[in-house]
Amino acid sequence: MSDPVSTPTSRPLYKRILVPTDGSDVSAAAEHAAVEFARAHGSEIVALSVAQPYPVYVAAEAAMAVDPGLDLEALRDQAERNVRRVSAAAAGAGVACTPLTVFSHSASDAILDSARDHGCDLIFMGSHGRRGLSRLLAGSETQKVLAGAEVPVMVLRPKGTAP
């Protein structure tokens, strides 16, 4: 066995990897790395997209013109599209993938809850230099995931981005 990576171990150290995605390029880099990792180690993937409903602070008149149902549907559609990108990449690599779309006001809570609920033992996230980790994972949300995660978190910065 000269090439350990092409021969997945029977019992990988990290069996189920949570891959949060927001559809951004930063996410894409982490998704790609996670799929490569899962293929090499014989892990499976849980792909998560968080649909975050916007808090609505509008005048009563304007609020009457808003159809909140439409908005939520659009958010869910986008979240499902994001997750499908990961599922497709996983399928292409022969990696098992569970797609997951959740509504939450807090991306970090959704990530931590999903990791727990689905028994993930590793979380893959993309970082984005000084501006904070990608939009989904910006600023304090990232801190909360990294500080609150009960499992290790793999943080990747896409190549070519300056800090």
Partner 1 sequence: MEQPPQPPLYRRILLPTDGGEASQRAILAGVEFARDLRADVVGFVATPAFRVLSTDPDMVGHSAGQYDDASRERARRTLADVEAAAHDAGVPCLLEQTVADNPWEAIIETAQRLGCDLIVMASHGRRGIKSLLLGSETQKVLVHSNIPVLVHR
Contact 116, 145 (CB under 8 A): no
Indicate which single residue of 21, 101, 108, 127 sits in contact with partner 1 (rule: CB under 8 A): 127
Q: How far is the CB of 129 from partner 1 (least distance, A)?
A: 6
Our CA angle for 43, 49, 51, nearest 5°, is 165
Q: Which of residues 138-157 bind partner 1 (CB under 8 A)?
A: 143, 146-157
Tokens of 2: 């000269």
Q: At what angle do helices 140-148 and 107-117 cross, to 10 degrees?
A: 20
Distance (Å, whole) CA 94 – CA 82: 19
Does the protein bind partner 1 through residue 10 (CB under 8 A)? no
* Closest CB to partner 1 among residues 36, 44: 36
Does the protein bind partner 1 through residue 119 (CB under 8 A)? no
How many residues touch partner 1 (CB under 8 A)?
A: 34
Side-chain-side CA neighbours of residue 150 (13 Å): 11
Token pair 């808003």: residue: 66
Q: Shortest CA distance to 99 belongs to which of 90, 110, 109?
A: 90
Q: How far is the CB of 126 from partner 1 (least distance, A)?
A: 10
* Closest CB to partner 1 among residues 22, 79: 22
Does the protein bind partner 1 through residue 88 (CB under 8 A)? no
**What residues make contact with partner 1 under the rule CB under 8 A?**
3-6, 9, 12-13, 33, 36-37, 39-41, 92-94, 127, 129-130, 143, 146-157, 159, 163
